[in-house]
Structure 1
C-alpha cells in the first residue's frame, strides 16, 4: 500500500520531488528511531516473548495509518484546496510503526518457533517465510495500484485498512506466542543429537 503514496501526493497535492523525499524520509527516520529506541528495549525485556505483541502493535499501526490516509483523501476531495491535512502525516506515523515492528519481529518469531525441538530446521523455516514475503511484495503493489487507479485513492486505502485489520485479528487469535528460546544446555544437546544423526546418515 505504501507504494501508492507517491501517486497520492502527486495527484492530490502536487508534491515536488523534495516534498516526496521529505515524506518518505520522515517515515524512514521515524521507523529507525522506533526500532532503536522502543522495539529494542521491549524485545530485550521480554526475551523473545514480546514479539507477538510488537507485531500486533505494528499491524494496528498500519491499519490506523491506512485509515488516516483514506481520511486525508476524503478531506482533500471535499475541500479541494490541494493542501494535505494532518491525516497524511498521521498515516505516515502508522506506516513507520509497522515498518519498525512487523517484519523484524515476525522474522524473530519464525526463527524461534520450534527452535528447541528442531534447531537445524530454522534456515528452512526462515527461507520459506522470506520467500512468501517476497511474493507478497511483488503482488501487493500490483493489487494496490490496480485498486488505486480503478476505484480511487480513498477506496484503495479503505480496502487496505479493512484487509490489514482482518489479518491482525487472525494473527492475534490464531498465532501462538510460544516463541520460547531453548536454554543453552538444551540447545547444545539438540545440536549434538543433530550432529550425530548427520554423521550416521
Structure 2
C-alpha cells in the first residue's frame, strides 16, 4: 500500500506539473526546453540523493516512509514531467524538416536501449554494493550528465520568434 501511495503521488504530481507548469513555461524564453530538461535532471539527481540518504537510516518494519523518501518521489515527479517531452522537443527543433523523423526515431531508440540496460546495471550495483551505494552512484552520475547537458546542448530558439536585432 505504501508503494502504491508513493507511485500515485509521483503520477499525480507529474501530471499536475506537466499540465500546469511545463505547458506554460515552454516557449517563454530562448532557453525554455533546455532549462526544463536541466531542472528535471537536477531534480532527479536530488531525488536519488534523498533515496540514498533514506537507505542509510533504518526504519521500523511497517512504519510510514520517511520524509526523505517523499522528497525523492517529488524529484522523480519533476523529472517525469519535464525531461522526456522537452528532450523530444529539442531533438525535433535542431533537425531539418527532411530528417526529423529519422532523428526522433534514433533518439527514441537510444532511450529504449538505456531503459533496457539501465535497470540491469542498477540492479547489479544494488545487489553487489547495497542500496545506498547504488542510489549515491546514480545521483552522482546524473549530476555529471546534467552538467554535461547544460555545457554541450545549445539553447533552442523559440519557434516563430523574430531574431534579435543587433544595435
Query: Could you tell me the TM-score, scaled by structure 2's length?
Result: 0.90
Q: Is the 8 A contact 2:50 2:68 kept in 1?
A: yes
Q: How many residues align?
A: 159
Look up the match of 2:48. Answer: 66
Q: Is the 8 A contact 1:75 1:85 kept in 2?
A: no
Deviations 1:91-138 (Å, cap 9, x if unpaired)?
000000000000010000000013xxx211110110000000000000
In structure 1, runs of 5+ residues without a counterpart are 1-17, 184-201
Which protein has the bigger helix share? 1
Q: Compare relative contact order (CA 8 Å, sep 6+) and give the higher one, 1 or 2.
A: 2
Look up the match of 1:37. Answer: 20
2:71 paired with 1:93? no
Q: Is the 8 A contact 2:51 2:68 kept in 1?
A: yes
Look up the match of 1:81. Answer: 60
Look up the match of 2:94. Answer: 113
2:101 equivalent among 114, 123, 144: 123
Alignment CA distance shift 1:134-1:179 (3 Å): farther
* 1:118-197 equivalence runs, <5 A: 118-181=96-159
Q: Name the SS for the 1:45 alignment partner.
A: coil
Query: Could you tell me the TM-score, scaled by structure 1's length?
Result: 0.75
2-side partners of 1:88 and 1:150: how far apart? 22
1-side partners of 2:119 and 2:151: how far apart? 27
Q: Is the 8 A contact 1:65 1:91 kept in 2?
A: yes
Q: Is the 8 A contact 2:32 2:156 kept in 1?
A: no
In structure 2, runs of 5+ residues without a counterpart are 162-167
2-side partners of 1:106 and 1:91: how far apart? 22
Q: Is the 8 A contact 1:113 1:179 kept in 2?
A: no
Look up the match of 2:6. Answer: 23
Q: Is the 8 A contact 1:30 1:96 kept in 2?
A: yes
Shift of 1:181: 2.8
